[in-house]
Amino acid sequence: MTQKVLEDLVAQIREAAASEDRKSAIRARLQDSQTRKDLLADAITALEEDEVMFFEDETCSIWTCRYDPNVVFAPHEHGMGVHIAVYRGTEVEVLYKREPGKLRHGGNTLVKAGDVVRLGPEAIHAITSDGSEQSIAIHVYEGPLTQIERSLFDWTTGEEVEFSMENFYAMARRKADMDEFC
């Protein structure tokens, strides 16, 4: 039963992503899903991996995401809009602005359980969880995320590094080891 609620949401998002006004339709489906946030959080928690791609085609990519409050993933871009619905905990979007030769911190956005936000295609962000528990969310990208070239950014120099899941995990830092956490 628990996994069925997640499968049903994926089917609804796929339908929304294929609609004429997909941004609004995806947002509406994710907002509606908040009425089942406990069931969805339980379904995502039951998955073996912290990040699972449930679906991808030309219209969207649908991922479940769990982030640890002790780990910060390196700044990266998506090259397309992303809708984020948090079902448990608080996801922190550490936003950056690109400047010649570096990245500059542009503020943090806290996405709490029950919230739905959208980051635009130019967004660069690092990501973590706030508080003492994992954040549990679904991320819906407005296209085929794994089919495009995108970048991670070096923490110190801001230099672009090819995005791969291997690099994504290798460049993660423990919050306790960071001199400064924006």
Q: What is the pLDDT of residue 3?
A: 86
Alpha helices in the chain (DSSP H): 2-17, 22-33, 37-45, 165-170
Q: Residue 4 — very low, low, confident or very high, per pLDDT cuts 50/70/90?
A: very high
**pLDDT for the residue 115:** 98
Supply the range of the domain harboring residue 131.
2-177
Number of separate domains in the chain: 1
Does residue 83 have a pLDDT over 90? Answer: yes
The reply to whether 157 falls in a domain is yes
**Predicted confidence band at 177 (pLDDT cuts at 50, 70, 90)?**
confident
Cβ–Cβ contacts within 10 Å for residue 6, how many?
23
Q: What is the pLDDT of residue 1?
A: 60
- What would the mean pLDDT of 18-42 be, rounded to a whole number? 97
DSSP calls for 121-148? TT-EEEEEEETTS-EEEEEEESS-GGGS
- Mean pLDDT on 168-172: 94
Average pLDDT, the chain: 93
Q: Answer yes or no: is 53 within a domain.
A: yes
pLDDT digits (tens, 9 = 90+) for 110-154: 999 999 999 999 999 999 999 999 999 999 999 999 999 999 999
- Is 147 contained in some domain? yes
The reported pLDDT for the residue numbered 175 is 87
pLDDT for 114: 97
97-121 pLDDT, tens per residue?
Answer: 988 878 888 999 999 999 999 999 9
The CA-atom distances, in angstroms, between 70 and each of 41, 77, 136 are 20, 21, 14
**Is the pLDDT reported for residue 182 higher than 60?**
no
Q: pTM for this structure?
A: 0.93
Does the pLDDT value for residue 180 go beyond 70? no
Q: Which CATH number goes with the domain that contains 93?
A: 2.60.120.10
- 44: tokens are 């995502």
Q: Is residue 182 part of a domain?
A: no
Q: Find the Cα–Cα–Cα–Cα dihedral 52, 93, 178, 131, rounded to 10°.
A: -80
Q: What is the pLDDT of residue 158?
A: 85
